[in-house]
Chains A and B, each alone.
Chain A
Amino acid sequence: MGMAEEPERLIAEDGTRLDGRKPDELRPLRIQAGVLKRADGSAYLELGSNKIIAAVYGPRELHPRHKQKPDRAVIRFRYNMAPFSVDERKRPGPDRRSIEISKLSKEALEPALFTEYYPRTAIDIFVEVLQADAGTRCAGITAASVALADAGIEMKDLVAAVAAGKVDGHIVLDPMYYEDGYGEADVPLAMMPKYDAITLLQMDGNMTEDEFKEAVRLAKKGCKIIYREQRRALKRKYGGE
């Protein structure tokens, strides 16, 4: 039982998408900081039908000793999907996709952290996807940033992430399930908005160079909106709003 039949048109003449959005519109986004008791920091995020929870433990002692870095923290990231999060039940445990996402997500966040302030420790980041609807790796990074800030870990900036895609020839922001599955290209991107610096970038599919640049531009624009929401979520938790 895979994806349902391909819809006839993914985008109308005037650019309206299957879910009524305009090409540069994000799905509804909701972020809540500090939702778990045990974790040092946490966040819950909804983007469209995506439901994601991120948690941070650390900085904490790292064992075995030989894995420690004398001058900085070791960052570990684990992205995991719940068995019930997707259409066809996913067997529990990491698969190759999850392992790659975990690696790239760690690399997307590390530039933003003052790891040199926490030598010989580990900062562990966990993302659990409870419900998936395309764009989970970016949503996971976005939630993880909030969880890191919630844990009080010193950071240069928050990291915001979102994907852009090419669908029926149009460049669109934040592709949803069908657009991701039937579109021509998918471009997940993460950045530190303050520096306008990209920390994660992937592309798969078929695009001209210009189309790719346009997708990057659109994704960055989306990240700025997400960044505002991340900050709001943190301020809300501490009564700042």
Chain B
Amino acid sequence: MPEYRIYVEDREVVTPGELLAEGQVIASDGTYREGDKVYSKVTGLASIEGRKVRVIPLSGPYVPTKGDYVIGIVQEVKFSSWLLDIRAPTPGVLHVSEFVDEEVDLITTDLSEYLKEGDVVGALVQEVDPVKRVKLTTKGEAMNPLGRLKDGRIVEIDPVKVPRVIGRRGSMVRMLKDVLGCDIFVGINGRIFIRAREEPREIREDLAVRAIVEIERRSHLSGLTDWLESTLKRLSRW
């Protein structure tokens, strides 16, 4: 008498309301449980790992999760914090104490001295409270720089395609950085910061932008990293 039954195959496309499994399974992301049964909440790919059932969404907004590295853009300067657009349904809040080390006299200081509207910031999602308000911080350890990001440019892609830009164990983004000589900081929220490390800066950054757009477009193809590497090497004769 099995403890559980799985009704879909790994990597099968499922739709909201579709019955995925029944019984003693671990109902993970993209699923919901009603009594004994586990259903999909979204359109996505079913992912079955033993007893763990989840659905990887094929489209959808960026949903902030604690620990995510995101690239935000300052939307509003407030009294003791900044509101950052992080491509989520609501902006993230960066409190002054999560950005600045020294004591700031809020009465006499205008926070735009530190960060003004339009500034680009690398940040970590510190906390997502029960009503989905997002608190950000630039203090801590991250794979990519935290704090204000200057002199580069931004590309935005579907957040769902971010893993493709990073690649298996970071292979894709590492290749782009090496071949093009650019810093490339990939935010989980689908926003990517690019800054050339050497001349010719504009052309390197242009190519990086084009490469990322191509990855997004061709994300479903295999052999993408190799193809892109040879194409970029060919184009980057300077």
Q: Do A and B come into direct contact in the complex, CB within 8 Å?
A: yes
- Whose C-beta in chain A lies nearest to the C-beta of B63? A117
* Residue-wise interface mask of B (158-194) relative to A, using a CB-CB cutoff of 8 A (1 in contact, 0 not): 0010000000000000000000000000000000000
- Residues facing B in A140-160 (CB within 8 A) are 149-158
Decide if A118 is an interface residue (CB 8 Å cutoff): yes
Binds A, one of B13-21, B93-101, B110-118, B229-237: B13-21
Binds B, one of A24-32, A45-53, A54-62, A129-137: A54-62
Binds A, one of B54-62, B149-157, B206-214: B54-62
- Whose C-beta in chain B lies nearest to the C-beta of A236? B13
Which residues of B lie under 8 Å from residue A231 when comparing CB positions?
A: 15, 18
- Whose C-beta in chain B lies nearest to the C-beta of A157? B17
Size of interface on B: residues with Cβ below 8 Å to A: 24
- Residues facing A in B57-86 (CB within 8 A) are 57-61
Which residues of B lie under 8 Å from residue A60 when comparing CB positions?
A: 89
Cross-interface CB contact of B13 among A73, A120, A151, A239, cutoff 8 Å: A239
Contact B17–A158 (Cβ < 8 Å): yes
Q: A58-B89, A71-B131, A121-B90 are in contact. Are A156 and B17 (CB under 8 A)?
A: yes
Contact B17–A119 (Cβ < 8 Å): no
In the complex, what distance in Å separates the CA atom of A34 from the CA atom of B32? 25
Cross-interface CB contact of A150 among B12, B32, B43, cutoff 8 Å: B43
In the complex, what distance in Å separates the CA atom of A113 from the CA atom of B185? 34
Contact A238–B58 (Cβ < 8 Å): yes
Give residues in A with beta carbon < 8 Å to B.
Answer: 34, 40-41, 58-61, 70-71, 73, 112, 114, 117-121, 149-158, 192-194, 230-231, 234-235, 238-241
